[in-house]
Amino acid sequence: MHIATRLKQPILFFLIKFLLFFYILYYLYLGYVAVSDARGVYHWHIPTDFDLIYILRNALKYPVSWIMELSGHPAFLSLRGVHLKEGGTIFISFSCLGIKVMLVYISMILAYPGKRKLLFLFSGLFMIHMLNVSRMVALLFMLLHHERNKAYIAHDIFNYGAYVIILLFLYLYIKQKDSQISLSS
């Protein structure tokens, strides 16, 4: 019983910290969207150099367009999406940016004690971003081959894949912390 009590306290502390970090980051993001969205009630003009949504959308659009061009499918960009000259368009909305998935990952790394957080933060966020780029390229290929019904599944597959990556990086992060503890003992 004593071991179970000792085990529950760190897990409970981690969960509380995780939820606290997540909700703080999430509501900061929602507040940011409220002031940056031109259709919002509290719109402030934010220069595009500092507009997180604009930056993330472009960080997705340009690699997707480049990959499609390399694969022989000419593409052009609009403010909110990637269009193929052969037909097929993806519009990148707020939910397509992967921000919630990134916030979950950031919150988990911040909540768990350990060193090298920056390394794990940036490498994990990069992997999530690349998975999102891959998802959008896959969507465009599905649209090219008239498989619109299967294209809707890609959104869910991205979320599942992203959460697998989050858990993998969290596992590696915990493992490297545990190996540091055993080396110092």
Residue 90: strand, helix, or coil: strand
Residue at token pair 């350990």 = 114
Question: Looking at the domain assignment, is residue 116 inside a domain?
Answer: yes
Strand partners, 83: 76, 89
What Å distances lie between residue 66 and 127, 137, 157, CA to CA?
A: 18, 10, 22
pLDDT digits (tens, 9 = 90+) for 36-91: 766 655 656 666 666 788 889 999 999 999 999 999 999 999 988 999 988 888 88
Q: Please, are residues 109 and 124 in contact by the beta-carbon 8 Å criterion? A: yes
Whether 10 is in a domain gets the answer no
At 140-172, the pLDDT tens digits run: 888 887 666 666 676 677 678 778 887 887 788
Residue 107 lies in a domain: yes
Decide if 158 is inside a domain: yes
Please give the tally of structural domains in the chain.
1
The residue to which tokens 């969205």 are assigned: 37
Q: Is residue 59 part of a domain?
A: yes
115 lies in some domain = yes
Q: Is 103 domain-assigned?
A: yes
pTM score, whole prediction: 0.78
The residue range of the domain holding 100 is: 49-184
